[in-house]
Structure 1
Amino acid sequence: MAGRSHQGAARRENLLLVVLGLTYIGVFAFCDALTRDAQGMPALWPVNAIAAAGLLHFGRARRFAFLAICVVTQLVGHALAGDPWGLVAIYTGLDTTEAVLLAAVASRATRGRARIRSVREALLVIGTAAPVSAAMAAIGATLTDLMLGRDFGTVFVGWLFCCVLGMAIALPATLVLLDDHPWTHNPRPAPWVRVGIYALVMAATLVAFAQAEGWMAFVVFPAATLAAFRLGPKGAAWSAVIVAALAMPLFALGATTMGETATWAAVDRIRLGQVFITMMFLTTLALALSLYRQHRLRDLVLRRNRHLAAARERAQAANRAKSEFLATMSHELRTPLNSVLGFASVIDETEDLSAEGRRRMALIAAAGRSLVTLVDDVLEFARLEAGRFELTPQAANPLVVVRETAGIVAAAAAEKGLELRVSASGDEDARFQIDPNRLRQIVLNLLNNAVKFTSQGSVRVAAEIAEEPGGHIFRLEVRDSGIGMSPAEMDRIFERFSQADSSIRRRFGGTGLGLAISKSLVELMGGQIGVESAPGEGATFRVSVPLGAPETADQRPPMAAPAAATGTGRVLVVDDHPMNRELCKLLLEMEGYEVAMAEDGDDAVRMAGERDFDVILMDIRMPRMDGLTATRAIRALDGRRGRTPIIAVTAEALPEQVARFREAGMIDHIPKPIAQTELYDKINRWIEH
């Protein structure tokens, strides 16, 4: 297969060699026979540019063959014209040298690609080739002056004009025509469209020049522009070839003139025609190349947009996969933790344990709570990183939040023998629109860190509410006497999954997410967080959060009375996990509730349709029928049973998951591991509702 492809390419190259060789011979014959002036100097000489383009295009073997065709054509043509052998040698030698040099400079201008794809490349090719033609003209004029006695100035001007103008048209045009690039970015015009456009160029050329006075030359420009616009750079190149092929013989034979040139010599009219064709070609070529560049940039943008869309889709798919993984991880970790913490609590409350047994049970509970904290940190940071986290403002006082949070940490500090001192400055009765839960999380992270990294000494907390011109501001300072940090460690302390170094992580544990979460929450509140520390000298964390204006008394909604802990009512527990069902049954019966249990959604729908329940505790992930489907089915029941309060009790705790529960018809949510007080409060609230 590869051999046949190579043979096909070789045949095409051979055919192109023949075509380009015949073109060179034909153009040479026309220019040498019809455009010579009185001294035998052709007025039109594009053959050197055609030879240079061929040398650039062909490989080594065909390059020498094509060069041989050019040299033989030169020798035979000048000999047949009757030129002296000295002049034949000068013309042939200099024309051949010029073709080789033009090929060399054009190759350098196009960086060895032998093509023109931009206006810049076209100008570089013409600009670097023109000095070569000028140099050959100077050498040729000098040699003919010395050897044949011809006037240097006349020969130089004639040689320069014929070569430079011919080169400016033929070299870029031939390079464009030899380039197999498709050029057009729109669907390629049909053959009849291309034929029609080139026919229009021919007609415009004949209308302009097939008359004694070529006053209609301007009509050629619109036709050539249309060719460049629809057919690209090749359309501009073929238009130049068509106009030159039709107009130049008319100029050479004196069949047409332009303006007041009727009395001009033929060579001057030919030069004027060359100038016209050169301007037309360069203008239309620049237009075509500019359009090509614009289309290429457009295609590049579209291609990049497609790549970006694909990358965005992959990122979204990865994000969905991450969310599914986090949801699964949360569920799979929280479910066994629910049993660990729940049964530890039940045993601690109901069994007669020794002091050592209670200590060990407390260790089990503490380890379970640590695992819950780790899971919560990972899920919390994932939500913050994905931008799916929203604050829930409500009326609260940040100083009260700090005191309550310090009370949570006080036992851990006392156990390590640390002094925990809290000072507050400001009105503790004032209430501001803040998210107290997230503020509590920030303070708890800072206090837990301070206690964790301090083995002796104290942890001091200073909080204040200050009034400033832009509104009130909350400031918090947590200072400890712990191990401290170096400047390099402080640079990393707020990064995700980062602690000061790996040895600290091994020694103290943790995910390294607490401070990263705190920083994100503070910034979400519009505040700032920072740290000052030195090794062995403890650390001081400072937080500032804008509060706005405090609420007035008439803005505060009335406080709802807490639900009474009735401990009465019928509760249906729906869970596929036997340990979870047993734990719920124990916790509820300890408070005096009547409990029924269902293993999955099918059982739950059947039992809810047969009996009246005050509350249904519904798991989500279950076989046969999941909790969401079961909830919708229960909501479709007639009468009071279809309105039974259904509370989601599940390890799925992400906000978007809770939103789905409510959409299905659930009225509340209790996350696993189950907190006893939350369980009782929510059941009582909805029984009394």
Structure 2
Amino acid sequence: MKHLDTLGALLSATARERQKQVPIRVLLALLVSWALFEAGQAGWILPWLGAVAVIQAFEILAMFRFRRAERVPARVDVLLALSSTFAMAALFAGTAVAIWNVDGRGLQGFAMLIIAGGLLTNVASGIEARSIFFVGATPYLIALIAMPVMAVLGSTAGDPVLTSLGSLLFIGAILNVYWRVHAARAAELRALGEAERRVQQAEGAMADRAAMAAIISHELRTPVSAIQAGAQVIRDDVDPAQREDTADLIIDASALMTRMLNDLLDHSKMEAGAMSLETRDFELSTLVSDTERFWRAQASHKGLQLSATAVAEGQWLKGDSYRLRQILNNLMSNAIKFTARGRIALEVAVEAQGATRDLRITVRDQGAGISPEAMDRLFTPFAQGSAEVARTYGGTGLGLKVSRDLARLMEGDLTVVSEPGQGAAFTLSVRLPEGVPTAVSAAPEPSAELRPRLRILAVDDHEINRRTLALVLQPLGVDLSTASDGQLALDLLGKQAFDVVLMDVNMPGIDGNETTRRLRASGGPNATVPVIGFSAGTEPEQVAACHAAGMTDWLAKPLEPGKLYEALHRATRPVTTEAVAAA
């Protein structure tokens, strides 16, 4: 029965092809009438034409629904269409056999032409499916087999052996032609299907890109508006008492933009298969306590209770703690965002499995929960649970998608259990090797003073970045020079001495890495000066390329003032020590 449903979808092409063949059948019916007249069988002409007209009308009616394709055909429609095809073939094949049997008139060749024409028309109309072909071709094939049998029995003239071989060769030739044509048509349909699938994928990708552009444009306007408004307040100096709140607003808006851009970058890396993980030893209790401490203030500010499983110290694991922290931060951010009142729980469970540990971290909230409809698109990028959620909370919808992709990259998973009105529980499950305790080196004191009038050269092709560096370095009282490209930087470095060079990595023309290599090979007064590179590219291989070029340190964009100050201390401390020792 399922085969009939499949044939129903293919009969539309057959119906159109057989409609085109109607004039040929009418002409053939007239030729057969002439042959009957020549054979002295004029009495059969009217019955013959009447039979052709009835069966042709039956076929036209049976194939009508398939030509129109107004609805999905029923199985009875398929059976009627196939029956009309078989009836038409049986009529002409039987007539060919009858003409073959007329002795002494030389009509055997005409009978063979009828059979050959009938088989070829069925090759064309049955090209979509072998079943359709054999329904129409079987009467003709039976006629070809019957003709040599009649020759053997002596009912017709001709050499039985020659007739048998000719029939077999003709049957083989027709089947061979059909198989080739059918295979070519199948390959064509597969190619068309693949092309259509790719077109749909391209259209879907374009729609996704359009949705992404619309969402990102909308979401970026919020922090940009906050930064612009805050900067205007500070510039106008309307109320000095508002400066601290205004600065906090700008910092929070900048952090929001940074998280959004990081999610976009990570999503792009995932799609391109370019995301890589770092493997290092970390302590689980530190990861959990840091996460709880980071989000406790925000939860408390919203009136929520935040609890976390007490994890015993000394449980060391080996994996990418940075990416684990990123997943937990996304889950904690969502839990606090979507919970109006109640409690947020960070639950941790570890189970030993030989030399590995099964880690399960669940973030449980008491929010509104997730509807079954929203659950289907929960991990879809640039999608929210509903239009109301998007309007109320905003966001790009990338956080959960990136988090689950990261979990699966670690050969784990991120799952969710939720019912509307009952909150949600997101569980990160991952198996990690047992780690080795490592000593944590103390970070340099940011309060350490730089030596007076530090001479710094800042190299960046963007004026906004150069002005930002000047603003950030202004409290240190440094002697700052700037260059807008690598060649200008090399010219300045060849004329005067500097204590530190801040080098943008990605610049047009001579980039930061090439500029640093030429500086190191110059033998000039700044050939050994500390070079601190900074770039938005945070991949390990990109950072390694900076160090290989001769940079002594590296910072990620956007530059954080505190980290820049620490990098300057690291760059200048050895110089100060050597100067004291030399004295």
What TM-score range do you get, normalising by the shorter chain?
0.5 to 0.7
Change (3 A) 1:282 1:305: same
Q: 1:364 aligns with which of 242, 250, 254?
A: 250
* Conserved 8 A contact 2:56-2:88: no
1:190-589 matches, within 5 Å, as 267-297=156-186, 355-426=241-312, 428-468=313-353, 471-490=356-375, 492-534=377-419, 537-551=422-436, 556=438, 562=443, 567-568=450-451, 570-589=455-474
1:56-67 matches, within 5 Å, as 59=23
1:89 aligns with 2:42: yes
Provide the rounded CA distance (Å) in 2 between the counterparts of 1:479 and 1:265: 92
Provide the rounded CA distance (Å) in 2 between the counterparts of 1:490 and 1:137: 68
Provide the rounded CA distance (Å) in 2 between the counterparts of 1:659 and 1:311: 39
* Conserved 8 A contact 1:497-1:513: yes
- Bigger Cα displacement from structure 2, 434-443 vs 501-510: 501-510
Question: Percent identity, aligned pairs only?
Answer: 26
* Conserved 8 A contact 1:165-1:274: no
Provide the rounded CA distance (Å) in 2 between the counterparts of 1:109 and 1:534: 53
2:358 counterpart SS class: strand
Change (3 A) 1:641 1:343: farther
1:647-658 matches, within 5 Å, as 647-650=532-535, 652-653=536-537, 655=539, 658=542
**Offset at 1:394?**
0.9
1:603 aligns with 2:556: no
Q: 1:129 aligns with which of 89, 99, 114?
A: 89
1:15-164 matches, within 5 Å, as 59=23, 71=33, 75=37, 77-78=38-39, 87-90=40-43, 129-130=89-90, 134=94, 158=101
- Aligned position for 1:173: 116
- Please list the CA deviations of residues 300-328 of structure 1 after superposition, one character each: whole Å capped at 9, or x if unmatched: 6677778889999x799989x99x999x9
1:610 counterpart SS class: coil
Change (3 A) 1:666 1:173: farther
**Offset at 1:590?**
3.2
**Offset at 1:520?**
2.4
* Conserved 8 A contact 1:74-1:92: yes
- Bigger Cα displacement from structure 2, 364-373 vs 590-599: 590-599
- Bigger Cα displacement from structure 2, 87-96 vs 579-588: 87-96
Change (3 A) 1:276 1:625: closer
Provide the rounded CA distance (Å) in 1 between the counterparts of 2:554 and 2:107: 87
* Conserved 8 A contact 1:340-1:365: no
**Offset at 1:523?**
2.6
**Offset at 1:336?**
8.3
For 1:170, give the aligned amino acid: L
* Conserved 8 A contact 2:336-2:344: yes
Report how many residues are paired. 507
Provide the rounded CA distance (Å) in 1 between the counterparts of 2:225 and 2:278: 28
**Offset at 1:435?**
1.1
**Offset at 1:405?**
1.9
* Conserved 8 A contact 2:356-2:433: yes
- Please list the CA deviations of residues 54-91 of structure 1 after superposition, one character each: whole Å capped at 9, or x if unmatched: x986849x956x7666655654x45xxxxxxxx54336
Q: 2:560 aligns with which of 666, 675, 681?
A: 675
- Aligned position for 2:15: none
* Conserved 8 A contact 2:230-2:247: no
* Conserved 8 A contact 1:617-1:649: yes
Provide the rounded CA distance (Å) in 1 between the counterparts of 2:503 and 2:411: 38
Provide the rounded CA distance (Å) in 2 between the counterparts of 1:107 and 1:282: 28
For 2:114, give the aligned amino acid: L
Change (3 A) 1:615 1:357: closer
* Conserved 8 A contact 2:55-2:87: no
For 2:333, give the aligned amino acid: N
**Offset at 1:390?**
1.8
Provide the rounded CA distance (Å) in 2 between the counterparts of 1:582 and 1:533: 49
Provide the rounded CA distance (Å) in 1 between the counterparts of 2:104 and 2:528: 99
Change (3 A) 1:537 1:136: closer
For 1:665, give the aligned amino acid: A
2:381 counterpart SS class: coil
**Offset at 1:404?**
1.0
* Conserved 8 A contact 2:362-2:425: yes
Provide the rounded CA distance (Å) in 2 between the counterparts of 1:482 and 1:430: 32
Change (3 A) 1:132 1:450: closer
2:326 counterpart SS class: helix
Change (3 A) 1:315 1:615: farther
Greater C-alpha radius of gyration = 1
Provide the rounded CA distance (Å) in 2 between the counterparts of 1:462 and 1:58: 76
For 2:564, give the aligned amino acid: L
* Conserved 8 A contact 1:573-1:616: yes
**How high is the TM-score relative to the length of structure 2?**
0.66
**Offset at 1:546?**
1.6
**How high is the TM-score relative to the length of structure 1?**
0.58
* Conserved 8 A contact 1:493-1:499: yes
For 1:677, give the aligned amino acid: G
* Conserved 8 A contact 1:169-1:278: no
**Offset at 1:392?**
1.4
For 1:368, give the aligned amino acid: S
- Please list the CA deviations of residues 582-641 of structure 1 after superposition, one character each: whole Å capped at 9, or x if unmatched: 332343353465432113333212112333444422335667766566456546534674
Change (3 A) 1:616 1:280: same
Provide the rounded CA distance (Å) in 2 between the counterparts of 1:355 and 1:441: 35
Provide the rounded CA distance (Å) in 2 between the counterparts of 1:71 and 1:132: 12
Provide the rounded CA distance (Å) in 2 between the counterparts of 1:642 and 1:281: 88
RMSD, aligned CA = 5.6
- Bigger Cα displacement from structure 2, 66-75 vs 510-519: 66-75
For 1:475, give the aligned amino acid: R
* Conserved 8 A contact 2:227-2:250: no
For 1:416, give the aligned amino acid: K
For 2:290, give the aligned amino acid: E
- Aligned position for 2:134: none
**Offset at 1:432?**
1.3
Provide the rounded CA distance (Å) in 1 between the counterparts of 2:315 and 2:546: 34
